[in-house]
Amino acid sequence: MKKLIFIGIVFLAVCGWAVYQIIFNSVNTITQSAKNYSWAESTLSKSANEYFWDQFHLGNYDSIPVILEKLTSAYINDPNDIRTVTHLAFTHMWAIAEHQNSNKTSTIEHATMAQKYFGESYQMNPRDTRILSFLSSVKLINGSISQDDGLLKDGYLNGLKAIREWKSFSAFSLAYTMSRLPYADQKYQEAMELMRNLAFDYAANFNPKSKETQQAISEMKLLKNEHLSKDRVFYNSWVAPHNIEGFFMAYGDMLVKNGDWEEGIDVYKLARFSEQYDSWDYKDILENRIINAKANVEMFRMEIPQGQKTEIENTLLIQTKISCRSCHQMSIPDVKTFFTNYDESNLLTKSFYLVEK
């Protein structure tokens, strides 16, 4: 009995100490405490978010400062506006990911701000695991810039949580981020495995040479306003008009870097089965990758020193100036063929962001 009382006292003391640490001694930085999001869009926020989408779809990297200016004004007006906070985060992420378009040596400011806004967006709307997965990527980026093992671990664990909650989106995001690592690194092999599993979600018995797999890709028609919940991320849509092409370019690149260049060629070729392939602005880049796959094994493995300019043709997709727009850019033929009179507000509803069925 005495022993039990003793254990009880020790247990309470440990709990008390933990509560004390959490309440009085934990220091959160960057992200603020959880609060409720607002869905109401002011005129300011509507025009800032529309401007973001226009410029992002056009791939106008140089417009980033103006996009940020407009979204920041909207944020100051209403810091709970979920779309504004989310797009502020994504714009900073775009600035980091496609920094090859800029002459600046560092993206630290963008990486810090992206972590702030993804953090706030996630706290307000944890249902949107897409945000957690980008928060994870940005922590990995910040962790590696500041050589902070704790942050790297935190980012990696957030990535695994995101995969548990929305595998199809988050697995790609984590694998794509990790594709920068040396190919012999254990984590690069994990990234390959994540991509392989995703390929099997595109087609059962995935085999890029088989008619069945090719048929499955060609049957994936552009999403208009269909609400497919989480499975929507496999398709091309107004948000990512060339998602399928971008996915197979990224996966093909990773196979090539891994030395599996013949399989890489077959995977690249699957992009041709997308309904939107002919109107994709980066079709020629992919066709050249098919020709140069063998030579690209060594090219994709090369380490890129900070600030060094890369050529799209012989650099792994994530390290190029088209690392986001490969999926998100909307070409003029796209607009004329697939999106004439298209009203995206029917797609981007509240349930789209809350990821409701």
CB of 352 to ligand HEC, least distance (A): 7
**Backbone dihedral angles phi then psi of residue 81, each to the nearest 5 degrees:** -65, 105
Binding residue for ligand HEC, selected from 323, 329, 330, 338, defined by CB under 6 A: 323
By the rule CB under 6 A, 133 interacts with ligand HEC:
no
Q: Which two tokens stand for residue 1?
A: 């009995």
* % helix, strand, coil for the chain, step of 5: 70, 0, 30
176 and 250 Cβ atoms separated by less than 8 Å:
yes
Q: How far, in Å, CA of 141 to CA of 99, rounded?
A: 13
Q: Is 60 helix (H, G, I), strand (E, B) or coil?
A: coil
CB of 6 to ligand HEC, least distance (A): 54
Residues in contact with 323: Cβ distance below 8 Å, sequence separation at least 6, in sequence order: 97, 98, 317
Site string for ligand HEC, 91-130 (x = CB under 6 A): --xx--x--------------------------------x
By the rule CB under 6 A, 198 interacts with ligand HEC:
no
Angle formed by the axes of helices 186-202 and 211-218, nearest 10°: 70
- CA-to-CA separations, 207 to 196, 204, 214, 266, in angstroms, rounded: 10, 9, 9, 9
Binding residue for ligand HEC, selected from 159, 246, 252, 264, defined by CB under 6 A: 246
CB of 247 to ligand HEC, least distance (A): 4
By the rule CB under 6 A, 233 interacts with ligand HEC:
yes
Phi-psi region of 35 (alpha: psi -120 to 50; beta: other; left: phi over 0): beta
Q: Which two tokens stand for residue 140?
A: 């990995």
Q: How far, in Å, CA of 238 to CA of 222, rounded?
A: 8
Q: How far, in Å, CA of 272 to CA of 208, rounded?
A: 12
**Minimum CB distance to ligand HEC smaller for 169 or for 188:** 169
Name the one range near ligand HEC by CB under 6 A: 7-15, 58-66, 240-248, 254-262: 240-248
CB of 173 to ligand HEC, least distance (A): 8
CB of 249 to ligand HEC, least distance (A): 8
Binding residue for ligand HEC, selected from 68, 138, 240, 293, defined by CB under 6 A: 240
CB of 97 to ligand HEC, least distance (A): 3
Q: Which of residues 15-54 bind ligand HEC (CB under 6 A)?
A: none
Binding residues with ligand HEC: total (CB under 6 A)? 20
Question: Does the CA dihedral 82-87-90-92 come out positive or negative?
Answer: negative
Binding residue for ligand HEC, selected from 70, 110, 321, 328, defined by CB under 6 A: 328
User: What is the residue type of 177?
Assistant: T
By the rule CB under 6 A, 57 interacts with ligand HEC:
no
By the rule CB under 6 A, 250 interacts with ligand HEC:
yes
Name the one range near ligand HEC by CB under 6 A: 36-44, 64-72, 238-246, 294-302: 238-246
By the rule CB under 6 A, 232 interacts with ligand HEC:
yes
Name the one range near ligand HEC by CB under 6 A: 1-9, 206-214, 298-306, 326-334: 326-334
Residues in contact with 85: Cβ distance below 8 Å, sequence separation at least 6, in sequence order: 37, 75, 79, 117, 120, 121, 124
Contact positions vs ligand HEC (CB under 6 A): 86, 90, 93-94, 97, 130, 232-233, 237, 239-240, 243, 246-247, 250, 323-324, 326-328
